[in-house]
Amino acid sequence: MMRLFSPAKINLFLRIVSKRLDGYHNLSSVFQTITLGDTLTIALHDRDELTCTDPCLPTDASNLILKATELFRRKAGLQQGFKIHLIKRIPLQAGLGGGSSNAATTLWACNQLASTHVPLNTLKQWSSEIGSDIPFFFSQGTAYCTGRGESVHHIPALKAQPLWIIKPPYGLSTPEVYRRLNFLNSISEKDVQRDLDAFLSERLPYFNDLEKPAFEIKPELYQLKTSLLASGFEIALMSGSGSSFFCLGQGVLPKENDLTIYPAHFMNRPLFDWYFDGD
């Protein structure tokens, strides 16, 4: 049996570059894992079985965890089942990559438990078949991602600075946010290479091209961002397709009862191991 931490991610910048012929979008983004995360307990079993502490999360074949076990069996040529229990802390529909992280963690665990010794890069390649963000979690936790997000390029780890995750009581559908995106008018005019160069020079270009369509769907999100910046935070940026924000700097936390607030900081994966629990 293995008990593994499954971290959330934030997007330190996110640019939508173009729309693809397959209906997806090419992006340019720096992803960073954080100490907010789920816990997976995984053991060998005669069949796949998934349970979860959050009753709102489906535990059928639509869950990325079970998609990951099925993918692993097919690719590794195994019949082995897995019993998995998920302690869910990453909020749903928040833009924090919880499902993708769970899938990557599952693939890592299956490989260890089944003693199949599949190379990490191979697991990363396999994972792109079931989700665009999953390959990122096989990085060391700080990476520049392109394509649909599945092309992962290593960049140096960042200082473990503290942050706050602010989650409103509603989520956003990623497909709906992208459907609202008119990339000719909505995306930023920043140059991709210039953005990355500035990031690597510690002049971080914090922006997210998905904020505008998300704010069109939920105008309350724009109001929340405005209030977070007005309270003193240096950065208040939506992560991914929302609906959560991450905040950097010394601001005053909001007191609205319907907001959920999570303390966190940047984290990275040890070279030859999985992520360790940030606590």
Token output for 226: 């405005």
- Going by C-alpha positions, the residue among 214, 225, 205, 206 that lies closest to residue 186 is 214
> How far is it, in rounded angstroms, from Cα 248 to Cα 159?
13
> How far is it, in rounded angstroms, from Cα 252 to Cα 141?
28
Positions annotated as catalytic residues are 9, 133
> How far is it, in rounded angstroms, from Cα 86 to Cα 83?
10
> How far is it, in rounded angstroms, from Cα 187 to Cα 126?
30
Using omega within 30 degrees of 0 as the cis cutoff, is the peptide bond preceding 243 cis?
A: yes
Distance of CA 245 to the CA centre of its chain: 13
Beta strands in 46-131 (DSSP E): 49-52, 81-87
